[in-house]
Structure 1
């Protein structure tokens, strides 16, 4: 190869080290870029022509290529922004870029990009866009089943509309009733026979085990019954209705039988409490039969359904007329002996809710985007997929710490990936201290190659001077 070959080798070394310097410079410049993946430099040799064995060959020239570090995760740091997201493990967020503004709304490109830059925030249209201008994509979720409605991710858009009210349909009830209730009537009567049961009057108005409780007999009823708990339900327009329940044990000849009532203040008929129905227990304390009152129906030993609950003039008789069900469930209503004399283990819960204003969104570990509302409700809106590739080192880098798929990277797989961490972002994986260490080596190697050129030049001068 000779002196000219030495100069060529040195020049190739200068070019290679220049490329390494360029990568180092870009890494340092992006050391604070969210989700940035640094580029390292790999050097390869080119063998010059010569003999068939190494003894007759020379080392040849070199060239530099960039080496991706996509698989090397940057540090994850916490953030106060609830929409910031980080990926712990493999995968990329699926994003796209804006295309145009049509009729005041943003349209998007058909091309998908992939990024680990998770500094997303909601814009004025409800899209989640990161600081590089990429819009997050996700699978829409069915509001009823919570399952994804398709297999192609869409640009994620969060509606800030209020959540409509939902009428209560079910009151889930659990309680244990004492065989001998310690009512005010029982205590003041020194436990005389039968005084633990409902006090009745001939009327008019009539108070017996089959009627509602007229306002006239409110005090007598409350003194001969026990509290059964309370809950809040909602009618079709979201108006809250406070439902207070009471139990009264039925007098003889009934055995182990109780009446269930709900308070109905302000009732047009003058009733203080409406009778829901009666429950008869067997000797073991389990529910044997349910018998519904007028305006209600019973379903086996599991529930009462009341056609219309009205409290202070507010009614549940909304669209559909399905009524409100008080559901006991299996073994949730019992009559076991206790030392309390009151209803124990009482749990009263109801579905339904009032209308709520949009408060914000949060993302859980499964990647679901959940909207929260002022009525304490949450709604799962989207599921964020993570894209993985068979050869992610072959992804094409594009502006904004993002990548595009190529023919050698493989198609994106949206079924795997790591986990999503909310209120966090992944920092650049470029470390300044490491880059400066590489910079020192690169600078010295570049200087050494220049010395080769200088030495070769001096040797050529010496050869030329031989003919003088």
Structure 2
């Protein structure tokens, strides 16, 4: 290699180290940029003329080595709409160029999303999050594109199901029994038309001062809970249990214990309330096991449910309500207190509510918490993967563009998870970058030394020729 070639090689070294210095500078500058992926420098030698016994080190070429696929640290922010991808994947965003929202789809790991004045989820560089907007009631997709969360509300839901589990006392303590009358309650003929209570006449009820007084004396309190009309208006449902038949296992045929359930026609079970028989015979064998009536729906796994037809409270028609008793949810065991003991009591209705706060689940579903204490999904974040994420083309704002090398976007997390209330930090480590900075400075100075030495050698050669 000639002295001139040595100088050219040193120049390539200076160029390569300058390029590396530029990458290091950018990495240090973006050490705290959310979602930033550092750019390392890869050096490659260029082969010069060589023979079997003659080889010379040639110039060097510097190229970028991308770390787009390398995870950065997750940092908690406490902002519910912030999202970090733990694993592979990219958020799909769009830089809006007009009010129509038209623009190119870009991909980013920057998840510092917040709600702007128009209700859109936007990150710190103006990237509007793309995905699916959902109907909070049905969970169905209402639109795809820019995620917009504004003025979200959850309409009221009518109560259609009550989950109930309880133990009824084998010997109930009622006002009548406390006075010495422990005989079962005799259901008036006007209350029910079928002895099995499988086909109640909904126009029949315990009504009138005398009948209601006798009923209250012979029954025990059941569960009370708020249920909701079709418009989400709450009404209070009060119930009472009345034992209408004692068990007689030695009789022919043997008799099981039978209870009837009644509910009040007005909220709070005022003194003027009528009491409506729900129309099912709740039977128990001698061991206290519940025997579902013929009208009950019993699934293969033993879950039993009965229908309370046309529930009406305070004149508001709630409609049919299914009382789900589960498997063994209703029992009749001895209880010293002589009262019904409720272990499960929930219902599926609720009042209308407005959006109070948001959270993000591990699969990227954005969940709204409403003022009626209900939660419902309101959107899903658009997340994609690439076969070769390092083949993406970097754009400003922490965004990336699809290229032929990256392959097309593949929808889904592909094993990754979303961590709400966090953002992914830069994967550029300052300590590592400073060590590379020193090494690059030394390499640059060494290349300068090669140039100055080569220049001195050239000067000495020219002086010798003079």
Above 0.5 in TM-score?
Answer: yes
Deviation at 1:304, TM superposition (A): 2.7
Residues 136 and 457 (structure 1), Cα distance of their counterparts in 2 relative to 1, 3 Å cut: same
The answer to whether residue 372 in structure 2 is matched with residue 375 in structure 1 is yes
Quick one: which of 176, 197, 206 aligns to 1:212? 206
Residues 406 and 417 (structure 1), Cα distance of their counterparts in 2 relative to 1, 3 Å cut: farther
Quick one: which of 161, 178, 187 aligns to 2:169? 178
- Partner of 2:252 in structure 1? none
Deviation at 1:218, TM superposition (A): 4.6
Quick one: which of 235, 240, 265 aligns to 1:241? 235
Instruction: Say whether the 8 Å CA contact 2:137–2:376 is kept in structure 1.
Output: no
- Partner of 1:281 in structure 2? 283
The answer to whether residue 121 in structure 2 is matched with residue 124 in structure 1 is no
Quick one: which of 418, 422, 447 aligns to 1:449? 447
Quick one: which of 280, 283, 305 aligns to 1:302? 305
- Partner of 2:47 in structure 1? 47
CA distance in 2, matches of 1:342, 1:290: 26
- Partner of 1:404 in structure 2? 401
- Partner of 1:70 in structure 2? 68
- Partner of 2:36 in structure 1? 36
- Partner of 2:350 in structure 1? 353
Residues 26 and 215 (structure 1), Cα distance of their counterparts in 2 relative to 1, 3 Å cut: farther
With normalisation by structure 2, the TM-score equals: 0.86
CA distance in 2, matches of 1:360, 1:163: 13
- Partner of 2:185 in structure 1? 198
Instruction: Say whether the 8 Å CA contact 1:386–1:418 is kept in structure 2.
Output: no
- Partner of 2:301 in structure 1? none
Residues 456 and 343 (structure 1), Cα distance of their counterparts in 2 relative to 1, 3 Å cut: same
- Partner of 1:428 in structure 2? 426
CA distance in 2, matches of 1:340, 1:26: 76
Q: For residues 382-433 of structure 1, what are the alpha-carbon distances to aligned partners after superposition, in whole Å with 9 as ceiling and x for unaligned?
A: 3334322221111100001111110011112223141110011111111222
Q: For residues 75-115 of structure 1, what are the alpha-carbon distances to aligned partners after superposition, in whole Å with 9 as ceiling and x for unaligned?
A: 111111111111111111111211202xxxx5131x22111
Q: For residues 304-348 of structure 1, what are the alpha-carbon distances to aligned partners after superposition, in whole Å with 9 as ceiling and x for unaligned?
A: 33214123x5x125xxxx433334345333334444422234422
CA distance in 1, matches of 2:14, 2:120: 47
Q: Partner of 1:442: helix, strand, or coil?
A: helix
Deviation at 1:435, TM superposition (A): 1.2
Deviation at 1:170, TM superposition (A): 1.9
- Partner of 1:154 in structure 2? 145
CA distance in 1, matches of 2:36, 2:110: 7
Instruction: Say whether the 8 Å CA contact 2:284–2:331 is kept in structure 1.
Output: no
Residues 246 and 211 (structure 1), Cα distance of their counterparts in 2 relative to 1, 3 Å cut: same
Could you tell me which runs of 5 or more consecutive residues in structure 2 were left unpaired when the two chains were aligned: 191-196, 198-203, 249-254, 299-303
CA distance in 2, matches of 1:164, 1:440: 63
CA distance in 2, matches of 1:288, 1:423: 49
CA distance in 2, matches of 1:25, 1:6: 28
CA distance in 1, matches of 2:274, 2:332: 26
Q: Partner of 2:353: helix, strand, or coil?
A: coil
- Partner of 1:133 in structure 2? 126
Q: Partner of 1:455: helix, strand, or coil?
A: helix
1:289-328 to 2 correspondence within 5 Å?
A: 289=293, 302-311=305-314, 313=315, 315-317=316-318, 322-328=319-325
Q: How many matched pairs?
A: 439
With normalisation by structure 1, the TM-score equals: 0.85
CA distance in 1, matches of 2:50, 2:327: 90
Q: Partner of 1:353: helix, strand, or coil?
A: coil
Alignment root-mean-square deviation, CA: 3.0
Residues 183 and 198 (structure 1), Cα distance of their counterparts in 2 relative to 1, 3 Å cut: same
- Partner of 1:295 in structure 2? none
The answer to whether residue 216 in structure 2 is matched with residue 229 in structure 1 is no
- Partner of 2:261 in structure 1? 260
Q: Partner of 1:456: helix, strand, or coil?
A: helix
Deviation at 1:217, TM superposition (A): 5.2
Instruction: Say whether the 8 Å CA contact 1:388–1:417 is kept in structure 2.
Output: no
Instruction: Say whether the 8 Å CA contact 1:10–1:450 is kept in structure 2.
Output: yes
Q: For residues 359-378 of structure 1, what are the alpha-carbon distances to aligned partners after superposition, in whole Å with 9 as ceiling and x for unaligned?
A: 12210112211111100111
Residues 268 and 247 (structure 1), Cα distance of their counterparts in 2 relative to 1, 3 Å cut: closer
The answer to whether residue 165 in structure 2 is matched with residue 163 in structure 1 is no
Residues 17 and 234 (structure 1), Cα distance of their counterparts in 2 relative to 1, 3 Å cut: same
